Amino acid sequence: MLGRKLAARLGRDGTADELELVDIAGAPVVADVAEPGVAERLVASRPDTIFHLAAVLSGEAEADFDKGYRVNLDGTRALLEAIRAVGGGYRPRVVFASTIAVFGAPFPEAIGDEFHSTPLTSYGTAKAMSELLLADYTRRGFLDGVGIRLPTICVRPGAPNRAASGFFSSIIREPLVGEDAVLPVSEDVRHWFASPRAAIGFLVHAASLDSAVLGDRRSVTMPGVSETVAGQIESLRRVGGDGAVAHIRREPDETIARIVAGWPERFDTRRADALGFRADADFDEIVRVHVEDELS
């Protein structure tokens, strides 16, 4: 989803001379970067900038341990190794999509830029390990990496999925088109969000960042909007009216509530702010972005 939107944005900006989209399925180039030899072929054309978004997401990486590590860790490592193997002074900017799932509870009230990574999922673990590799390959001069820890993307377009985080999007997305959505947690649950448009902005900004200012700490927690489910619902009401809100069905789910309780609520992102990364203004804007980008 982010790859497609990123390609569209880069196309509109006209900043890229050439753009090659690679995905495990559906993109112009279909390839599995974790397969031997694939990453080598992909970097043979020596692209200046590489966006590495490929991932098995949280739920699937938890369900299929081997697949998660194969794609999320070994795939990333294969890509970094392929870049290193090119040699001859080749040192591309590598923008790596990391995640706030590198953090695990218990948390301080606002998680700062020096808080440790203690992930509570195999997905977050492989991402945290990839961040470490990215920093070391950068320090050794093999590439020029920038890792950006994305907030939960909301409103995620498309069909409902069964990710534990899916309800954050579906309670906005479905009601706006007159369909019911299930809310499995209480309204005081707070989380950290960015719209797809803001996330694309992070990726593009990371690509053009003077990375010397990052020093040796190459991964940065992205700014976001800290909002409760109650606040989400009020934003939905302001954009879609009471009729939209009436489509939210409360069906408490203890399992989801327990998972979500381990997730971050709020970050202090002064480093990203100073580097020029910009979040959505508030959750109202996140809802409006969804309406503009997906429903117009």
Q: How far is the CB of 214 from a copy of itself (least distance, A)?
A: 11
CB-nearer residue toward a copy of itself: 114 or 254: 114
Q: Measured at the alpha carbon of residue 244, what is the angle toward residues 8 and 176, in degrees to the nearest 5? A: 15
| Binding segment toward a copy of itself, per CB under 8 A, in 38-46, 129-137, 158-166, 193-201 | 129-137
CB-nearer residue toward a copy of itself: 73 or 183: 73
The verdict on 63 binding a copy of itself (CB under 8 A) reads: no
Q: In whole angstroms, what is the distance from residue 79 CA to residue 107 CA? A: 32
Q: How far is the CB of 167 from a copy of itself (least distance, A)?
A: 24
Q: In whole angstroms, what is the distance from residue 246 CA to residue 2 CA? A: 30
Scored b (16 or more CB within 10 A) or e, 195-208 reads: bbbbbbbbbbbbbe
The verdict on 118 binding a copy of itself (CB under 8 A) reads: yes
From residue 58, alpha-carbon distances to 40, 117, 193, 238 in Å are 27, 16, 16, 32
Q: In whole angstroms, what is the distance from residue 184 CA to residue 52 CA? A: 32
Count of residues that bind a copy of itself according to CB under 8 A: 22
**Checking DSSP bridges between strand 190-194 and strand 225-228, what pairing results, if any?**
antiparallel
Which amino acid type is present at position 58?
A: S
- State yes or no: is 123 an active-site residue: yes
Q: Are 194 and 151 in contact (CB under 8 A)?
A: yes
Site for a copy of itself in 85-104 (CB under 8 A): 104
Of 12, 36, 140, 162, the one binding a copy of itself by CB under 8 A: 140
Of 30, 48, 63, 139, the one binding a copy of itself by CB under 8 A: 139
> Largest Cα–Cα distance in the chain?
61
Of 38, 90, 115, 265, the one binding a copy of itself by CB under 8 A: 115
Choose among 36, 127, 139, 45: nearest CA to 78: 36
Q: Are 51 and 204 in contact (CB under 8 A)?
A: no
The verdict on 255 binding a copy of itself (CB under 8 A) reads: no
The verdict on 148 binding a copy of itself (CB under 8 A) reads: no
Q: In whole angstroms, what is the distance from residue 61 CA to residue 164 CA? A: 13
Binding mask 23-62 for a copy of itself (x = CB under 8 A): ----------------------------------------
Q: How far is the CB of 221 from a copy of itself (least distance, A)?
A: 10
The verdict on 133 binding a copy of itself (CB under 8 A) reads: yes
The verdict on 132 binding a copy of itself (CB under 8 A) reads: yes
Site for a copy of itself in 205-224 (CB under 8 A): 216-217
Q: In whole angstroms, what is the distance from residue 3 CA to residue 56 CA? A: 14
Both structure tokens of 250 = 């409360």
CB-nearer residue toward a copy of itself: 135 or 229: 135
Q: How far is the CB of 217 from a copy of itself (least distance, A)?
A: 5
Scored b (16 or more CB within 10 A) or e, 241-258 reads: eeebeebbeeeeeeebee
Q: How far is the CB of 114 from a copy of itself (least distance, A)?
A: 5
- List the catalytic residues: 123
Interaction site with a copy of itself (CB under 8 A): 65, 104, 108, 114-120, 122, 125, 128-129, 132-133, 135-136, 139-140, 216-217
